[in-house]
């Protein structure tokens, strides 16, 4: 069996898989920033990576909030319902991060810009 992501896909839920893919995208964005050739391209990629981090952060908050709601049995929860909720939380996190109202991406971007300026 070839190695790669396929064996691990069956071991995680849909929400965790999306989060793992998003983390891999974030890592590739950060690597692209460090190897970027133009300053404006680097800044745009850094901003996108910071926004991706904020989306992961918001998604984690939403998942933990959802865990705190007790299951009272009034409405049955199936695997399909949980998957839909995870996908909804992922989309909500992406939308909230794109609005840049929390400020996590902005603070991270500023700190990374300062770190980059200190290296030179």
How far is the C-alpha of 58 from the C-alpha of 52, rounded, in Å?
10
pLDDT at 10: 38
Rounded average pLDDT over 53-81: 87
Predicted pLDDT of residue 78:
84
Indicate whether 7 pLDDT > 50.
no
Q: What are the pLDDT digits (tens) for 19-66?
A: 676 777 777 766 766 665 556 788 888 889 999 999 999 999 999 998
Q: What is the pLDDT of residues 95-108, one digit of tens each?
A: 999 998 888 999 99
Q: Which of 3-12, 64-73, 87-96 has the highest mean pLDDT?
A: 87-96
CB 52 within 8 A of CB 22: yes
Burial of 30 (0-12, 13-18, 19+ CB in 10 A): middle
Tokens of 33: 């920033």
pLDDT of residue 42: 82
Q: Is the pTM of this model over 0.85?
A: no
What are the structural domain ranges in the chain? 12-67+82-119
């Amino acid at each position: 069996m070839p190695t790669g992501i396929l064996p691990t896909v069956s071991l995680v839920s849909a929400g965790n898989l999306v989060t793992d893919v998003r983390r891999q995208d974030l890592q590739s964005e950060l690597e692209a920033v460090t190897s970027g050739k133009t300053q404006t391209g680097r800044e745009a990629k850094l901003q996108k990576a910071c926004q991706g981090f904020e989306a992961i952060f918001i998604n984690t908050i939403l998942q933990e909030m959802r865990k705190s709601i007790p299951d009272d049995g009034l409405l049955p929860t199936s695997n399909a319902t949980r998957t839909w909720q995870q996908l909804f939380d992922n989309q909500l996190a992406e939308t909230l991060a794109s609005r840049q109202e929390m400020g996590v991406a902005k603070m991270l971007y500023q700190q990374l810009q300062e770190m980059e300026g200190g290296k030179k």
